[in-house]
Amino acid sequence: MNKIYRLLLILVVVSFGFTSCDDEDFTGHSSLVPTSPTISISAPSSITIDEQDTTFSWTVTMSEAQIVDVAIYVTVAEGTTATEHDDFDIENSNSRVYIPAGSTTGTAMVTLYADDDTREETEMLMIQIGDSRTANASITPTTVAITINNTPDFAPLETVTLTAVWDNGDETAVGESFCSSFDVDVLFLVEDFSGYHPDFSMATGSCPEVGDLDWADGHYWVTTNLYGSVDLGEFATDIPVSLQLTRYNNDGSVASSSTVLIDEQLHSDDDGSSLYLVGYITVTNGVYELFDADDTSYGDVSVQKMDLPAGVK
């Protein structure tokens, strides 16, 4: 009988050992349970900064760690005027913030670049952190509006200068160039040709004529007038006019320059009573642009040569 009890006791002990092995809960692999956490973003709604090389970092925090990685997308939002890779870059791999499994934080990173050689207007960068593509967590997207001003080296707005030259390389009978021999006035008309720019002209008797522009936004026609009654018949060809619009930094260096060369704008039959359309300048938010006026029409009338308005000369 004792042998039977001993055998039963051995069977109970062995059975308990097998049961213990089968009940292993693998707690050494993970103690996390999938949940539905919330994600918060520590970032301002707006930033204003002078153009420079710098990196912004914003912390993304999840309320509870997860057993899988969680991705939060960083995107360029509507309203951005800055250029990706030239003015900025999103530094996160694949434009995503990854919060690793077992962790609760990640970082969104955006780098801005300075362009010391180019005068640019104020630019906007709209960065959105988070969208509906984030899985395993609840997130309310955050948008950061970054206003990028010109570098201080370019502020205040540099001088904008217009230079007009008229010459064809010929010489007069006394060996002087046309530019130095004859007086050409450069006059500016408003967009509908109804009158002159109210407070600006280039009529000093010099060649070239040079003027610094400080104009309100608008559209301005550039015209030339050969002052007085002049016989140009001694010149083999008509006289081209060159316009150059130059933007200077406040230290005197050139920020940018554009040139328009107009052929045959001062004609050999000119008697000094006409204006010739040479080009036009537009001003938009302080940005000046120079254009060739060839084939420009006003209404149904081709505008090339116009009568000089009464009372101007």
Residue 73: Cβ-neighbour burial (10 angstroms; 0-12, 13-18, 19+): buried
Same domain for 147 and 259?
no
φ, ψ at 307 (rounded to 5°) = -70, 140
Query: Which of 132, 151, 170 lies at the terminal end of a domain, its last residue?
Result: 151
Does residue 253 or residue 28 have the better pLDDT?
A: 253
Res. 202 pLDDT band, cuts 50 70 90: confident
Sign of the torsion formed by the C-alpha atoms of 191, 197, 203 and 207 = negative
Instruction: Answer with the residue of higher pLDDT: 313 or 14.
Output: 14
Q: Check which CATH number belongs to the domain holding 87 and give it.
A: 2.60.40.2030
Show the beta-strand stretches assigned E in 140-238: 142-149, 160-166, 184-190, 209-213, 218-226
Which residue in 83, 92, 75 sits closest to 144, CA to CA? Answer: 75
Distance between CA atoms of 106 and 104, rounded to whole angstroms?
A: 7
Q: CB–CB of 137/70 below 8 Å?
A: yes
User: What are 38-78's pLDDT values in tens digits?
Assistant: 999 999 999 999 888 999 999 999 999 999 999 999 999 99
**pTM score, whole prediction:** 0.44
Question: 116-120, 168-172, 282-286: lowest mean pLDDT where?
Answer: 168-172
Is 10 within a domain? no
The residue out of 151, 178, 197 marking a domain boundary is 151
Final residue before a domain boundary, out of 102, 119, 151: 151
What is the Cα–Cα distance from 214 to 98, expressed in whole angstroms?
Answer: 51
Report CA dihedral (269, 272, 277, 282) to the nearest 10 degrees: 160
Decide if 24 is inside a domain: no
Label residue 262 by pLDDT band (50, 70, 90). low
Task: Give residue 160's pLDDT.
Answer: 81
Cα separation of 311 and 296, whole Å?
Answer: 26
The DSSP symbol for 101 reads T
Do 146 and 168 fall into the same domain?
no
How far is Cα 41 from Cα 60, in angstroms, rounded to an integer?
Answer: 5
Torsion, Cα 6 7 9 12, to 10 degrees, reads 180
Report residue 292's pLDDT band, with 50, 70 and 90 as the boundaries.
confident
pLDDT of residue 251: 62
Here the tokens at position 191 are 């967009």
pLDDT grade for 313, boundaries at 50, 70 and 90: very low
- Considering 75-84, 120-129, 191-200, the range whose residues carry the highest mean pLDDT is 75-84
pLDDT at site 249: 65
Which candidate, 77, 167, 153, 68, places its Cα nearest to that of 119? 153
Q: In the predicted model, is pLDDT for residue 175 greater than 70?
A: no
Whole-angstrom distance, CA of residue 310 vs CA of residue 139: 71
pLDDT given for residue 105 in this prediction: 96
- Please tell me the total count of domains within the chain: 2
Look at residue 34 in the predicted model and tell me its pLDDT.
63
Q: Which domain holds residue 120?
A: 38-151
Specify the DSSP class assigned to residue 237. Answer: S
Give me the helices (H) in the chain, please.
Answer: 2-22, 178-181
Cβ-contact 266, 184 below 8 angstroms:
yes
Over the chain, what is the mean pLDDT? 75
The C-alpha atoms of residue 37 and residue 176 are separated, in whole angstroms, by 85
Res. 129: pLDDT tops 50:
yes
**Which pLDDT belongs to residue 53?**
93
In a shared domain, residues 168 and 291: yes
User: For residues 148 and 286, which has the higher predicted lDDT (pLDDT)?
Assistant: 148
- List C-alpha distances in Å: 94 to 71, 97, 103, 144, 282: 10, 9, 20, 19, 41
Task: Output the domain CATH number for residue 241.
Answer: 2.60.40
